[in-house]
């Protein structure tokens, strides 16, 4: 194929990818084509590589959006949590909670304790783990929730507001 024909086909492929809403795949098409040619990839391998590039960007965008919608005051994972600082917290139990099995069982998790023991850190870490697993999350402190429900009660919207506390904002 001549270089003009190759360019035309590449341009058409990029346009088609953009029309299909595969913007990342369209953006990396040229570089992936060059890499595929250099590595002598089979067609299916090239296509899988191109689509994986699209999936990675979509997953990152999904996670970023879900994290923003969760209204976390900060972001912390379980990795930096110092379980030795708070020996009353069972690390194995917390790591089990991070599997989100309690969600499938329709169980609740409640952290109680004085200020500064890591309740928010653990709740946010579990929330981030839930988002990673495709679950919707909304972070709210007990104090803020009670204030919100009081306000809803005063405005005769309590029943409607209670309905929205059973499902995270999407």
Domains belonging to the chain, first-starting first, are 3-70 (no CATH), 91-164 (3.40.50.300)
Task: Average the pLDDT over 33-55 and give the result.
Answer: 94
For 117-138, the pLDDT digits (tens) are 899 999 999 999 999 999 999 9
Give 100-122 pLDDT, tens digit per residue. Answer: 999 999 898 988 888 888 999 99
Between 142 and 4, the higher pLDDT residue = 142
Confidence band, pLDDT 50/70/90 cuts, at residue 169: very low
Ordered DSSP codes for the chain = --HHHHHHHHHHHHHHHHHTT-HHHHHHHHHHHHHHHHHT--HHHHHHHHHHHHHHHHHHHHHHHHHHHHT-SS---STT--TTT-TTS-HHHHHHHTTTHHHHTT--------TTSSHHHHHHHHHHHHHHTT-------HHHHHHHHHHHHHTT-HHHHHHHTTS---
């Amino acid at each position: 194929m001549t270089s003009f024909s190759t360019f035309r086909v590449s341009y058409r492929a990029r346009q088609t990818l953009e029309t299909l809403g595969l913007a990342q795949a369209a953006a990396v098409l040229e570089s992936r084509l060059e890499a595929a040619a250099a590595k002598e990839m089979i067609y299916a391998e090239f296509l899988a590589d191109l689509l994986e590039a699209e999936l990675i960007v979509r997953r990152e965008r999904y996670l970023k959006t879900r994290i923003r919608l969760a209204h976390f005051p900060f972001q912390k994972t379980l990795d930096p949590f110092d379980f030795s600082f708070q020996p009353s917290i069972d690390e194995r139990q917390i790591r089990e909670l991070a599997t989100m099995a309690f969600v499938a069982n329709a169980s609740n998790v409640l952290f109680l304790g004085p200020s500064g023991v890591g309740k928010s850190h653990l709740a946010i870490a579990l929330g981030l783990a839930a988002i990673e697993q495709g679950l919707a999350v909304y972070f709210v402190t007990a104090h803020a929730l009670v204030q919100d429900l009081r306000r809803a009660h005063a405005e005769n919207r309590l029943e409607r507001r209670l309905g929205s506390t059973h499902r995270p904002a999407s």
